[in-house]
């Protein structure tokens, strides 16, 4: 085993020099003799070249996992992915990806931010129900800015959102994802709105997770959420994921929910467009479905007012629809 001075010197160097100047606690403990010898072998290279992803790829998983800090770096996780070849190693790496730092980011979120192309390989590690559950929880983790992991994934790696949502194989998992997708961030964007804008092909997959009335009602509320630019979720769907509008509208099965949707579609945005106008222009196949929601005099009046709303260019919504 390495002597205490050698271990202390290596730990100090790693802490002071490697991780872009971050002053973080490095855990190098309970090493095997072989692990300690590897650390010693790389010590001179560390001093000369710093610790690069290429060097990290040469270290065994057992050593890499001991170099994690309170704020793990994406390259270390990406390098470790190539080394996780046994079930035990995969579970240990998943545990690291499940860890939360002081920003409220999980290791999976850090990996997605730094190396989004590696997230697919990380998700593929989850072959047991226990590991899938850990990833679902990680993807639903809310950070200090009220962003969830699934929101961040839609932004960083939209092509992987469906793979992430496929981890939800139980009702509990599905409900967790629905709650995360209804979470509003610091800009008052919900997860379903983020999906609409950045991962529109995943919106129907996300909506299909709502198999209970409670979860459907959560989506209705999220679709009516008004962001900082006065855009509602349903307007975002109409603009960026028009093929998903009918699926979303189908969740409004009560008079109360339908009234909420109508109010949201009559919301005026910063460009003086309403949601009903956006649906008419971008999702015309859903327009009649929306009109059918208005069964009271009050709701019909709201829609008529919205259709007569004058936009920033001086045109009424009704004229644009007729054109």
- Which residue stretches of the chain have pLDDT < 70? 1-80, 82-83, 319-321, 323
* Cβ 190 vs Cβ 181: under 8 Å: yes
- Among the three residues 68, 83, 100, which one is the final residue of a domain in this structure? 68
Task: Give the per-residue pLDDT at 323.
Answer: 64
Q: Are residues 38 and 115 in the same domain?
A: no
Residue 214, in any domain of the structure: no
User: What CATH code is carried by the domain that includes residue 93?
Assistant: 1.25.40
Q: Are residues 77 and 152 in the same domain?
A: yes
* Cβ 232 vs Cβ 224: under 8 Å: yes
Q: Are residues 110 and 154 in the same domain?
A: yes
Picking from 85, 92, 99, 113, the residue whose alpha carbon sits closest to that of residue 141 is 99
Q: Are residues 94 and 126 in the same domain?
A: yes
Instruction: Convert the pLDDT of each residue in 72-114 to its tens digit.
Output: 556 666 666 766 777 877 887 888 888 888 889 998 998 888 8
Residue 1, in any domain of the structure: yes
Range of the structural domain that residue 14 is part of: 1-68
Q: Are residues 135 and 157 in the same domain?
A: yes
Task: Give the per-residue pLDDT at 283.
Answer: 94
Task: Give the per-residue pLDDT at 87.
Answer: 81
Residue 12, in any domain of the structure: yes
Please tell me the distance from the alpha carbon of residue 10 to that of residue 266, in angstroms, as a whole number. Answer: 63
Q: Are residues 44 and 76 in the same domain?
A: no
Residue 61, in any domain of the structure: yes
Please tell me the distance from the alpha carbon of residue 233 to that of residue 299, in angstroms, as a whole number. Answer: 19
Task: Give the per-residue pLDDT at 22.
Answer: 29
Q: Are residues 112 and 136 in the same domain?
A: yes
End-to-end CA gap in the chain: 80
DSSP code of 282?
A: H
Task: Give the per-residue pLDDT at 99.
Answer: 84
The number of folded domains in the chain is 2
Please tell me the distance from the alpha carbon of residue 106 to that of residue 126, in angstroms, as a whole number. Answer: 16
Q: Are residues 122 and 151 in the same domain?
A: yes
Instruction: Convert the pLDDT of each residue in 195-212 to its tens digit.
Output: 999 999 999 999 999 999
Residue 187, in any domain of the structure: no
Task: Give the per-residue pLDDT at 21.
Answer: 31
Residue 189, in any domain of the structure: no
Residue 204, in any domain of the structure: no
Residue 178, in any domain of the structure: no
Note the pTM of the prediction, 2 decimals.
0.76
- Among the three residues 102, 133, 164, which one is the final residue of a domain in this structure? 164
Per-residue DSSP letters for 52-114?
-HHHHHHS-HHHHGGG--SS--HHHHHHHHTT--SHHHHHHHHHHHH-B-TTS-BHHHHHHHH
């Amino acid at each position: 085993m390495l002597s205490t001075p050698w271990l202390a010197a290596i730990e100090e160097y790693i802490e002071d020099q490697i991780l872009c100047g971050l002053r973080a606690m490095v855990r190098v403990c309970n090493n095997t003799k072989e692990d300690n010898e590897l650390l010693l072998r790389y010590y001179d290279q560390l001093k000369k070249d710093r610790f690069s992803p290429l060097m990290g790829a040469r270290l065994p998983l057992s050593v890499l996992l001991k170099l994690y800090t309170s704020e793990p770096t994406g390259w270390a996780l990406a390098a470790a992915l190539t080394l996780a070849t046994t079930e035990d190693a995969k579970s240990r790496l998943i545990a690291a990806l499940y860890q939360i730092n002081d920003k409220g980011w999980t290791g999976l979120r850090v990996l997605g931010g730094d190396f989004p192309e590696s997230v697919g390989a990380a998700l593929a590690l989850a072959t047991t129900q226990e590991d899938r559950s850990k990833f679902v929880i990680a993807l639903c983790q809310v950070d200090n800015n009220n962003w969830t992991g699934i929101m961040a994934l839609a932004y960083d790696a939209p092509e992987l959102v469906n793979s992430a949502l496929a981890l939800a194989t139980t009702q509990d998992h599905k409900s967790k994802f629905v709650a995360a997708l209804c979470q509003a961030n610091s800009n008052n964007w919900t997860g379903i709105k983020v999906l609409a804008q950045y991962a529109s092909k995943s919106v129907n997959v996300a909506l299909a997770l709502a198999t209970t009335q409670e979860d459907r009602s959560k989506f209705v509320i999220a679709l009516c959420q008004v962001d900082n630019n006065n855009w509602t979720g349903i307007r975002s769907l109409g603009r960026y994921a028009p093929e998903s509008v009918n699926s979303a509208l189908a969740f409004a099965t009560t008079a109360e929910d339908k009234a909420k949707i109508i109010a949201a579609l009559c919301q005026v945005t910063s460009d003086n467009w309403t949601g009903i106008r956006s649906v008419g222009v971008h999702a015309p196949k859903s327009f009649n479905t929306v009109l059918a929601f208005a069964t009271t005099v009050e709701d019909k009046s709201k829609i008529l007012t919205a259709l007569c709303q004058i936009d920033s260019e001086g045109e009424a919504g009704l004229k644009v629809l007729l054109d």
